[in-house]
């Protein structure tokens, strides 16, 4: 009995100690949580990080209104047909990895894809020959020089450095497996069509304007050939490269093409698998390193996103695993990157808290 009584006492003592312990634990945890929240700038500074449809729509519209009257920059004119494209065109499209589409402005207006095509042809080469081939044969380092630099090739022992400068892009084109240049072109075009989910139109005017005036690219291809780096005839490859640059796209197309990368290489609208998932991070890494040419560092510093621009005025930024953002606006800055394209994409990334380095 006594024994039982004593036992009851100690049980109630233990119970009250336990209750006290729990209270102390809860208090300490709560204080800790508060402290952690206090030192987490992401939580404090981006309460709007929770993405919802209304917020995305509002931010796209804000980006359009905020930058539409900015007339800085100038259309490319070294390709004559680009100089006469309407500089007012301004379209913004965001496509999520699930295939939801958000748009503002002239999202159906077409410009030539130009250098953004380099991304898809490099992806094709990886798909056919593997990522080691691309790294060893073409390279994945920034040049720090203009996209059509010949000096960059000489400085890097005859290497193009990466597939997103003209040298590396002409090289990628030359390595796409085909029996002749017609088949090579058809494969490259079909690949871009699959990324966008539709048969992209071809801009004859831009093609003729550039193909009759691309002596510098021809020289680049010959130089690379002299270093033994081309996979097919250099001048033929330059012509196919010029064709791939002359494909027309809208901001809508760019958004879908970007979302295909964000969705592990599967087009989220057509559900077609376009690229093996293991190559997606490789392509995005080169975009981060060299997508905006000699301004790639500033872009990454600002947005943290892999992106690619073209002198037609298109820009494609990708938030890995989440979405593609396509913007079209022809006037360019001194590096050859769309002025309003960069502004709009950077604004959206910042406002929606999408910088991958800030997750």
SS3 assignment, position 318 = strand
**Residue with smallest beta-carbon separation from ligand GLN:** 115
Give yes or no for residue 310 binding ligand GLN (CB under 6 A): yes
Give yes or no for residue 266 binding ligand GLN (CB under 6 A): no
Give yes or no for residue 289 binding ligand GLN (CB under 6 A): no
Task: Please report, as residue ranges, which positions from 197 to 216 form the binding site for ligand GLN (by CB under 6 A).
Answer: 210
* Whether the Cβ atoms of residue 325 and residue 63 lie closer than 8 Å to each other: no
Closest listed residue to residue 97, CA positions, set 323, 353, 340: 323
Give yes or no for residue 237 binding ligand GLN (CB under 6 A): no
Closest CB 188 distance from ligand GLN, rounded Å: 14
Give yes or no for residue 168 binding ligand GLN (CB under 6 A): no
Q: How many residues bind ligand GLN (CB under 6 A)?
A: 11
311-339 burial, b at 16+ Cβ within 10 Å, e below that, comes to: bbbbbbbbbbebbbbbbbbbbbbebbbbb
Say how far apart CA 55 and CA 326 lie, in whole Å: 18
* Whether the Cβ atoms of residue 104 and residue 89 lie closer than 8 Å to each other: no
Closest CB 153 distance from ligand GLN, rounded Å: 14
Closest listed residue to residue 340, CA positions, set 12, 87, 76: 87
Between residues 169 and 344, which has the closer beta carbon with respect to ligand GLN?
169
Give yes or no for residue 147 binding ligand GLN (CB under 6 A): yes
Task: Please report, as residue ranges, which positions from 82 to 111 form the binding site for ligand GLN (by CB under 6 A).
Answer: none
Between residues 304 and 336, which has the closer beta carbon with respect to ligand GLN?
336
Closest CB 217 distance from ligand GLN, rounded Å: 5
Say how far apart CA 286 and CA 140 lie, in whole Å: 6
Closest CB 309 distance from ligand GLN, rounded Å: 7
Say how far apart CA 299 and CA 288 lie, in whole Å: 9
Contacts of 112 (CB under 8 A, 6+ apart): 82, 203, 206, 245, 246, 247, 248, 249, 310, 312
Closest CB 238 distance from ligand GLN, rounded Å: 9
Give yes or no for residue 148 binding ligand GLN (CB under 6 A): yes
Give yes or no for residue 355 binding ligand GLN (CB under 6 A): no
Closest listed residue to residue 80, CA positions, set 209, 173, 198, 203: 209
| Residues binding ligand GLN (CB under 6 A) | 114-115, 147-148, 166, 210, 217, 245, 310-311, 336
């Amino acid at each position: 009995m006594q024994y039982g009584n004593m036992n009851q006492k100690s049980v109630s003592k233990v119970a009250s100690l336990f209750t006290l312990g729990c209270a102390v634990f809860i208090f300490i945890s709560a204080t800790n949580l508060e402290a952690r929240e206090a030192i987490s700038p992401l939580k404090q500074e981006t309460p709007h990080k929770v993405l919802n449809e209304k917020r995305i729509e509002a931010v796209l519209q804000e980006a359009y209104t905020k930058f539409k009257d900015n007339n800085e920059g100038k259309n490319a004119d070294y390709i004559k047909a680009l100089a006469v494209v309407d500089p007012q065109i301004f379209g913004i499209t965001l496509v999520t990895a699930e295939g939801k589409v958000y748009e503002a402005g002239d999202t159906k207006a077409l410009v030539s894809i130009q250098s953004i095509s380099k991304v898809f042809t490099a992806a094709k080469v990886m798909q056919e020959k593997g990522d080691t081939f691309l790294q060893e044969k073409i390279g994945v380092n920034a040049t720090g020089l203009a996209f059509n630099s010949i000096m960059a090739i000489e400085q890097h022992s005859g290497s193009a450095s990466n597939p997103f400068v003209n040298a590396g892009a002409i090289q990628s084109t030359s390595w796409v497996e085909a029996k002749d240049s017609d088949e090579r072109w058809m494969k490259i075009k079909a690949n871009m069509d699959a990324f966008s989910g539709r048969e992209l139109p071809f801009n004859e005017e831009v093609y003729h304007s550039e193909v009759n005036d691309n002596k510098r690219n021809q020289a680049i291809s010959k130089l690379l050939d002299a270093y033994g780096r081309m996979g097919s005839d250099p001048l033929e490859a330059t012509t196919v490269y010029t064709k791939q640059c002359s494909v027309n796209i809208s901001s809508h197309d760019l958004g879908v093409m970007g979302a295909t990368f964000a969705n592990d290489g599967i087009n989220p609208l057509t559900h077609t698998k376009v690229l093996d998932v293991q190559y997606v991070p490789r392509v995005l890494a080169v975009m981060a390193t060299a997508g905006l040419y000699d301004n790639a560092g500033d872009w990454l510093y600002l947005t943290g996103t892999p992106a690619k621009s073209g002198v037609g005025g298109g820009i494609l930024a990708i938030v890995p695993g989440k979405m593609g953002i396509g913007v079209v606006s022809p006037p360019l800055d001194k590096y050859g990157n769309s002025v309003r394209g960069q502004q709009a994409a950077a604004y959206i990334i910042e406002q929606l808290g999408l910088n991958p380095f800030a997750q």
